[in-house]
Structure 1
């Protein structure tokens, strides 16, 4: 019987590419000729994705080689383009699966999929903050779910997260060490996503940490807080609003690099220099950050490693681990020109 590895070998592509083509992943950038070649070879080899019943096998080689997993995420293709953070996590999952010869049988994007059932899979990785009750309505085995960028219940589910509260506190400490006492904050609204009903508001961890630090140090000013959505355009408009108010803070902590791009554009258009008039630090360290004008100081999140770690946790579960694990991936402040500090 043909395997996904056989199809990949004959098509001269990766296992991840075969899986994404066969599952009609719209985010995959591949030539039409390559797509057609994969489909033709899969048909010629009579390849059918494995949909075996889930077992509790402890045989490491068998459990890994035969495993089929799904990715459940809220982000659309456009969302990933606007904020590469989630794209990098997904790519980390795909790379690790390819290396371990684990098949990604389904990638479900909740904004574009209405009906879905994942119970024919061995395990599921959930990217983003999605209501666990909703997830278990489409994949019943909660012991084989790993949450990424969220930890809804560490006593029940595996999860891989970043301590954004600690990262935020470190950014604010760094700003104050540079002499800034007026520090503004720009972020998006955070929600717990649901499938068929309205999402539920969730307090964003960076906002929580910002308010706590500023209040504890007698620096909090409600007027320096700006909340919109997680887009470059939203941050651009929020910074324009701050400029119109006058009396700008001397520094801004911005919750993502993509948002920082919009905010810095607004500052430049408003005749404000960065970091001369306003210092800026953000989060993620996307590839573009180092090439901005000025280069962007940012908290590096190892997003690809987050995705790889999620796969490793799933494989451990398939091999019989019963105790849920919560992995906290560290961050690092990358100092560049936008904050006025000495570059790393």
Structure 2
């Protein structure tokens, strides 16, 4: 009786689907090398007649990639969010034996050799996108939605996460909620980036009939910016200072916390703080910050996977949006 895929699956201790995809050289399948080797060995041992020895996947054509970070190397040290994304890219690249060139502050003039793909991290103007596209057809944007321009994009879900934060405060009977959000421009100054957290916050508060523009303060995503902005809010609002603040990233939130502590405003007894990104910084302060956990490493690894898929075969652009999770710590109180 001829050996079937079911026989191989049983002997190898894996699913029938896994056997089928491995024996058909499906490189998109996430399975370890040891498992692949075991399946092929079992197939040969059982004299599976359709067995073919694996050929090198077409993705091996990709050898060198560049990571183009919009931050300078020094700035990246101050914002662990973008560093974590880059580390995710490098980790996955190492798994696929890809050589990686790092380019900081979008300085693509530093590229002195041909590369097979580019992964960008951060925000880029239309002119910068066009310039990057001249380097390679294999281009993936992380944390910048360039899907409409025809490029793969890896993004974070802002709408649901911000709505969850607002709803959490609401459930704690904290309906006067302030916001510290960020404003940025691309390195060439040609594009001003609106903070999607502001838009999501405005929509969520409006749904509760509680949006107040005077409780929303713009900053620059830095620790010092958060500190100065919260000091301004304390001075401007006085006794009307909200009982809760959502802050758009961890550096600004730590600065805001410092300003509250200097003003002898108790956190979370008088003001609760909820941050965004959940980098290690959120746990380095006292009280530790509640924060929206963003899958930064997964954003990086997903970008590499998209790059390899496109190198393997042409396809339409993909827009991948990753979910988030609320992490509760001591800067917020629960009823």
TM range (shorter): 0.7 to 0.9
Residues 110 and 60 of structure 1: is their aligned pair in 2 closer, same or farther, counting only changes over 3 Å?
A: farther
Larger Rg: 2
| Runs of 4+ with >4 A deviation | 116-119
Show the counterpart of 2:88.
Answer: 92
Match of 2:303, SS state, is: helix
* Structure 1 CA distance for aligned equivalents of residues 267 and 219 of structure 2: 22
* Structure 2 CA distance for aligned equivalents of residues 291 and 129 of structure 1: 27
Question: Are 2:322 and 1:329 aligned?
Answer: yes
C-alpha displacement of 1:129: 1.4
C-alpha displacement of 1:66: 4.5
Show the counterpart of 1:160.
Answer: 154
Q: How many residues align?
A: 279
* Structure 2 CA distance for aligned equivalents of residues 98 and 183 of structure 1: 44
Superposed, which structure 2 residues align to 1:1-344 within 5 Å? Answer: 61=57, 63-64=59-60, 66-104=62-100, 106-110=101-105, 113=107, 115-116=109-110, 120-140=114-134, 143-154=137-148, 156-191=150-185, 193=186, 195=188, 198-245=189-236, 246=238, 247-341=240-334
Q: For the Cα contact (< 8 Å) 1:123–1:314, is it kept in 2?
A: yes
Gaps of 5+ in 1: 1-58
* Structure 2 CA distance for aligned equivalents of residues 317 and 66 of structure 1: 10
Match of 2:68, SS state, is: strand
* Structure 2 CA distance for aligned equivalents of residues 233 and 60 of structure 1: 51
Residues 268 and 319 of structure 1: is their aligned pair in 2 closer, same or farther, counting only changes over 3 Å?
A: same
C-alpha displacement of 1:142: 6.4
Match of 1:171, SS state, is: helix
Residues 277 and 60 of structure 1: is their aligned pair in 2 closer, same or farther, counting only changes over 3 Å?
A: farther
Q: For the Cα contact (< 8 Å) 1:136–1:142, is it kept in 2?
A: no
Show the counterpart of 2:10.
Answer: none
Calculate the aligned-residue CA RMSD, in Å: 2.1
Q: For the Cα contact (< 8 Å) 2:251–2:281, is it kept in 1?
A: no
After the TM superposition, which of the residue ranges 272-281 and 217-226 deviates more from structure 2?
Answer: 217-226
Q: For the Cα contact (< 8 Å) 2:177–2:215, is it kept in 1?
A: yes
* Structure 2 CA distance for aligned equivalents of residues 302 and 138 of structure 1: 25
Match of 2:109, SS state, is: coil
Q: For the Cα contact (< 8 Å) 2:115–2:136, is it kept in 1?
A: no
Q: For the Cα contact (< 8 Å) 1:284–1:298, is it kept in 2?
A: yes
C-alpha displacement of 1:117: 5.3
* Structure 1 CA distance for aligned equivalents of residues 195 and 302 of structure 2: 23
C-alpha displacement of 1:250: 0.4
Match of 1:120, SS state, is: coil
* Structure 1 CA distance for aligned equivalents of residues 146 and 173 of structure 2: 37
